[in-house]
């Protein structure tokens, strides 16, 4: 049984995570997003107002699910992110891999707009610090998360 600690940065305590359909698409499409990196979740929580809530969960994969994992940025990862951010849905319960943060997404957009080549994208992207995200896309997947607690954080941490 796979088990790990995950974090979710938010403006509020999220005891019961849910998949929310928003006005824009994220890296791995609509879902509930967590990370193994506490500092990254703190950045998510504080990005607009300087304060927020760091939610902690215990993840346990108890039953077979449709899981897609990217261990690093790759051609397959890039194509998947482009498709998801373009509104193409997928059937995975859980997707895990690197995050296309704002800067990486700008590189992706420049590639899509024809401003840079695919090779130039990879040249720019390879200097980014490691990121991680795990997105949950079904009620079955969300049931693998057990809320541990939520603490207020600010961008001074």
- Over its C-alpha atoms, the chain yields an Rg (Å, rounded) of 16
- Domain map of the chain by residue range? 2-154
Cβ 45 vs Cβ 150: under 8 Å:
no
pLDDT tens per residue across span 59-90: 999 889 999 999 999 999 999 999 998 999 99
Report whether pLDDT(157) > 60.
no
Cβ 2 vs Cβ 25: under 8 Å:
no
Place of tokens 């940065």: 9
Instruction: Report the chain's mean pLDDT, rounded to a whole number.
Output: 92
Euclidean distance between CA atoms 133 and 27, whole angstroms: 9
pLDDT at 105: 85
Nearest to 40 by CA among 124, 108, 140, 128: 128
DSSP E strands in 35-114: the ranges are: 51-61, 67-69, 94-97
Q: What is the mean pLDDT of residues 17-42?
A: 91
pLDDT band for 134, please (50, 70, 90 cuts): very high
Place of tokens 């791995």: 28
- Whether the model pTM is above 0.85: yes
């Amino acid at each position: 049984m796979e088990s790990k600690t995950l974090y979710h940065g938010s403006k509020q305590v999220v005891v019961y995570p849910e998949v929310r359909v928003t006005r824009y698409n994220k890296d791995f499409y609509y879902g509930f997003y967590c990370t193994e990196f506490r500092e990254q979740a703190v950045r998510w929580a504080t990005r607009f107002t300087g304060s927020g809530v760091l939610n902690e969960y215990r993840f346990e994969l108890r039953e077979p699910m449709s899981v897609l994992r990217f261990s690093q940025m790759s051609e397959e990862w890039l194509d998947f992110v482009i498709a998801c951010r373009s509104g193409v849905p997928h059937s995975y319960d859980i997707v895990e891999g690197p995050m296309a943060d704002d800067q990486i997404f700008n590189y992706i957009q420049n590639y899509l707009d024809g401003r840079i080549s695919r090779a130039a994208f990879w040249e720019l992207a390879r200097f980014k610090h490691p990121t991680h995200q795990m997105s949950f896309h079904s009620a079955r997947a969300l049931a693998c998360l057990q809320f541990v607690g939520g603490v207020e954080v600010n961008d001074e941490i």
